[in-house]
Amino acid sequence: MAHKIALFVYDFPHRKSHDFIIELAVRRGKNFCVIAAPRKELNVDRRKYFDCSIGMAPPISAEELCRYLGVPYFSVEHEDCYKIEELRKCFDFELGLIAGARIIPGDVIKIFPKGIVNFHPGLIPQTSGLDAFYYSVIKNVEMGVTVHLIDERVDAGGLVFFESLDVGLTDTPEIVQFNNYQLQIKALRRLIDILDFDELKVVPLNRPFKNSPLTSEQKFDALNAYPAWRARQYHIRERQKLFKACVVGDLRSVLDVVEVCPELLESVTPEGWTPLIISSFNGHIDIVEYLLSKGANVNACGFKGTTVFMYAKSQFVNKVDALPPLLSLLIRFGADIDRCDMHGLTVLDYVELAGDKRLLEILRSLEIRK
């Protein structure tokens, strides 16, 4: 169901206001209205923190854009309940979206039956406030965009979704901020897709604290810590990519990750599974062979002591007549079939408990030949 929308913007040339108006116009035509807050002189930190800048054509003011596009446009203070209520009666909008706004009071929020959605350039609650980029580094959390319904508090309300940003190993702070801004546009497109076909589904967004504005010294400290943060974020993302590739059998992605980050070869999931355990359990013999050739521990164990071989044998019990190639490969690389798990049981014990006499005899013959 397509919701009727009012877009909050700034009444002066502003990049996000410019881009959100165009995005909505492409998807909604003239079927939304714009509420633009007049300029106010604020005490804003205008100090230069970055060595480089990314050049872009200056944005067109919201008023000009709306005139060109034929979109209803109104210059209204965002805390003016009376005027915004009058606009709602006229245009019957249900949902507000924020492209540019200062703090919107609770009385204005209540005017919108479906609420008001904000696009915060960081993970909430950790990066609430104006310094989301710096707080991402300081608190060592991933960069991205939190799409949420607002309430009377700043950067709180109900979570719609979080759009995570890929951070490259050589990305500068300027590139990360630019890419994260582009991610807000991507998040807007995703939200419009949701609005066109479904109702908003939100979960409570707990924000027990509010971040204070950072001093210049704190921002420079964050920039000094940025390279270490970037490396951590890159490795977190590459590790996730590696685990997923081992689940689905994507050898190309496994190669891409391991060749650049060989230290991830023995990384573990929260369950203690290594990439070799994951690929063995899922039966991807090509990935298993590659990981073993790169030096993966063939006798790695999960947190309960379950070995690679124990995980690998599960899909073959009571199913084949000969020793499966995957199990044969693990044995050739030194898999210890006598190793016990936390229950004191070996793979032989589990095969016997499963009633697979054929596989049990094969494995016992391998013991005799050792």
pLDDT by residue for the chain (370 residues), tens digit each?
Answer: 467 999 999 999 999 999 999 999 999 888 899 999 998 776 667 777 787 778 889 999 999 999 999 999 999 999 999 999 999 999 999 999 999 998 899 999 999 999 999 999 999 999 988 899 999 999 999 999 999 999 877 666 789 999 999 999 899 999 999 999 999 999 999 999 999 887 788 888 877 778 899 999 999 999 999 999 999 999 999 999 999 999 999 999 999 999 999 999 999 998 899 999 999 999 999 999 999 999 999 999 999 999 999 999 988 887 777 788 999 999 999 999 999 999 999 999 998 998 888 888 888 887 644 5
Find tokens 């940003």 and name the residue. 165
Q: Are strands 144-149 and 32-37 parallel, antiparallel or unpaired?
A: unpaired
- CATH number for position 169: 3.40.50.170
Element (H, E) at 238: helix 216-248
Query: Do 363 and 284 have their domain in common?
Result: yes
Residue 1: the pLDDT is 45
Whole-prediction pTM: 0.81
CATH code (residue 362): 1.25.40.20
Task: Verify that 286 and 144 share a domain, yes or no.
Answer: no
Evaluate whether residue 228 is within a structural domain: no
Indicate whether 292 and 170 sit together in one domain.
no
- In what side-by-side order are the strands of the sheet with 32-37? 73-75, 32-37, 5-10, 95-98, 115-120, 144-149, 157-164, 203-205
Tokens 């060595």 appear where?
A: 51
What distance in Å separates the CA atoms of residue 189 and residue 200, rounded to the nearest whole number? 14
Write out the two tokens for 272: 């203690």
Tell me the C-alpha distance between 343 and 332, whole Å: 26
Question: For the CA atoms of the chain, what is the radius of gyration?
Answer: 28
pLDDT of residue 198: 75
What pLDDT does 155 receive? 60
In this structure, the answer to whether residues 46 and 188 fall within a common structural domain is: yes
Distance from the first to the final alpha carbon of the chain: 68
* Alpha-helical regions (H) of 99-215: 106-109, 132-138, 173-197
Task: Give the count of domains, the chain.
Answer: 2
Task: Judge whether 112 and 93 are in contact, CB under 8 Å.
Answer: yes
Q: How far apart are CA 104 and CA 93, in angstroms?
A: 17
Q: Are residues 320 and 195 in the same domain?
A: no
Strand partners, 161: 147
Q: 255: exposed, middle or buried (C-beta count within 10 Å: 0-12, 13-18, 19+)? A: middle
Question: Which residue range forms the structural domain that includes residue 74?
Answer: 5-220
Give the C-alpha separation, 35 to 10, whole Å.
8
